[in-house]
């Protein structure tokens, strides 16, 4: 369904770790008459923000409840383990799941990674948020596996992180209500997919060029010239006319 009413803004929700700045800049260049309003939401509330109309679209982490929602996957993040800088694991470039055996692994309630079984030893309690879990890592309570963007978001000088192998990864997607695929939504889809400003997707095609019809008198003159063999009227272009040779 394409929206027809004039919108005062386009509201984009985004979850922690996602940086919508580059798409916001492109939006402001292409749709200067409609401000892009950025709304920060936690990962657990992203789908609700789309369904209750708080946002027109959202940059969310998969998986989410897709009932009534469209979702276009954009990219997948590397998973990393957050550790103290003086931890022995900081000496290596990459860490496997088996390397966490014997270490306490924190599993916050807002964890966006789908684990069959979290690595390492379980903590006594689950932190409420990823931010809380990072604080516990700094306090030496345990280690934390998160998407790399979240490790950067909650970076501390006394912590570092290393890439993990053989662990779940988090994908970021653009999502919106199926019933709200408006013209502005189509515009934003084109931006995140990298379409150029001249892309014809979602835009009306340019009208074909109209050939000018010859005037009635021009057509008559052309036919007369062809009948009398006059060059430049009905004769074919590019054909050189030869003058008759004079007899000696």
Domains of the chain are 10-76+171-192 (3.40.190.10), 79-165 (3.40.190.10)
CA–CA dist 36, 49 (Å, integer): 16
Under 8 Å CB-to-CB from 145, ≥6 apart: which residues? 79, 80, 81, 82, 100, 105, 113, 118, 119, 164, 167
Q: Are strands 79-84 and 143-147 parallel, antiparallel or unpaired?
A: antiparallel
| Residue 39 bridge partners (DSSP) | 13
Phi, psi dihedrals of residue 244, rounded to the nearest 5°: -60, 140
Can you tell me whether residue 159 is helix, strand or coil?
A: strand
pLDDT score recorded for residue 61:
95
Which tens digits make up the pLDDT trace of 172-228? Answer: 999 999 998 999 999 999 999 988 776 645 444 444 444 455 555 555 554 555 444
Residue with tokens 């069959």: 116
DSSP state of 183: H
Predicted local confidence at residue 200, as pLDDT: 43
Place of tokens 């749709």: 31
How confident is the model at residue 1, as a pLDDT? 41
* pLDDT (0 to 100) of residue 213: 54
Predicted TM-score of the model (pTM): 0.74
Q: Which of 130, 127, 136 is nearest to 149 (CA)?
A: 130
Query: What contacts 24+ positions apart, CB below 8 Å, involve 212-219?
Result: none
Return the HEC string of 69-90.
EEEEEEEECCEEEEEECCCHHH
Can you tell me which residue has the tokens 């657990």? 44
Facing residues of 121 across strands?
104
Q: Residue 231: what pLDDT?
A: 47
Q: What is the pLDDT of residue 196?
A: 77
Helix and strand element counts for the chain (H, E): 6, 11
CB atoms within 10 A of CB 57: 24
pLDDT at 232: 46
Q: Which residue has the tokens 């009227």?
A: 233
pLDDT < 70 positions in the chain: 1-7, 198-248
């Amino acid at each position: 369904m394409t929206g027809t009413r004039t919108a005062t803004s386009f509201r984009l929700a985004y979850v922690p770790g996602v940086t919508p700045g580059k798409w916001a800049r492109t939006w402001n260049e292409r749709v200067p008459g409609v401000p892009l309003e950025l709304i920060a939401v936690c990962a657990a509330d992203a789908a609700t923000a789309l369904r209750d109309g708080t946002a027109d679209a959202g940059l969310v982490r998969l998986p989410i409840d897709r009932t009534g929602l469209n979702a276009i996957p954009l990219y997948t993040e590397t998973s990393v383990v957050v550790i103290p800088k003086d931890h022995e694991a900081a000496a290596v470039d990459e860490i496997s799941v088996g390397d966490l055996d014997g270490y306490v692994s924190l599993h916050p309630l807002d964890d966006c990674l789908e684990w069959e079984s979290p690595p390492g030893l379980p903590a006594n309690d689950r932190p409420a948020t990823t931010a809380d879990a990072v604080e516990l890592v700094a306090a030496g309570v345990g280690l934390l596996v998160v998407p790399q963007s979240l490790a950067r978001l909650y970076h501390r000088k006394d912590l570092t992180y290393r890439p993990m192998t053989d662990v779940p990864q988090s994908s970021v997607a653009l999502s919106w209500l199926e019933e709200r695929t408006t013209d502005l939504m189509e515009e934003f889809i084109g931006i995140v997919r990298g379409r150029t400003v001249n892309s014809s997707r979602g835009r009306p095609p340019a009208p074909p060029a109209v050939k000018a019809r010859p005037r009635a008198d021009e057509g008559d003159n052309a036919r007369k010239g062809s009948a009398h063999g006059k060059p430049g009227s009905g004769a074919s272009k590019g054909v050189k006319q030869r003058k008759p040779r004079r007899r000696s």
